[in-house]
Amino acid sequence: MTIAIAIAPKAALAATAPTVGIFWLIEGSLLIDRSTLEAAEPYGECLTHTAGHYDRWQEWQALGVTRLAALGYPGQIVSSEYDEWPRGRVVHETQQGRFVLYADPRLQRPEIIEALKLAFGLDNAEVVVRSDAHYR
């Protein structure tokens, strides 16, 4: 199965420095919202993306279908809730120097994990995949 990737804001999928962020799988397409480690915010001993799933979804819904389409986002955002789709988050554990990819168990398939590593610039980084009760 091939996974399409949409990155927020719309951008080329060129090689990137490691990033943290949030993501969803919507009908075969990964929707990614990420930030650099420099722009990330501290959360305990981790660096995490400044936006949460709920808040970002609300912002996108407010754009409406036409504007979302122009930005390359799926129209399903407007007609659904953020927690209806499998989702997850990538954080950086600063002391361990590794990234943790928290994901709905339905997303913990090799082809999806590889697509996420590419999208977040983690193909050469240590990445641990974990489940979390938030992402089901």
Residue-by-residue DSSP string for the chain: ---EEEEESP--------EEEEEEEETTEEEEEEEETTT-EEETTEEE-S--HHHHHHHHHHHHHHHHHHHT--THHHHS-GGGS-EEEEEEETTTTEEEEEE-GGG-SHHHHHHHHHHTT-TTS-EEEE--TT--
Give the pLDDT of residue 66: 94
Give the pLDDT of residue 63: 94
Ranges under pLDDT 50 in the chain: 12
Give the pLDDT of residue 46: 95
Give the pLDDT of residue 12: 41
pTM, two decimals, is 0.88
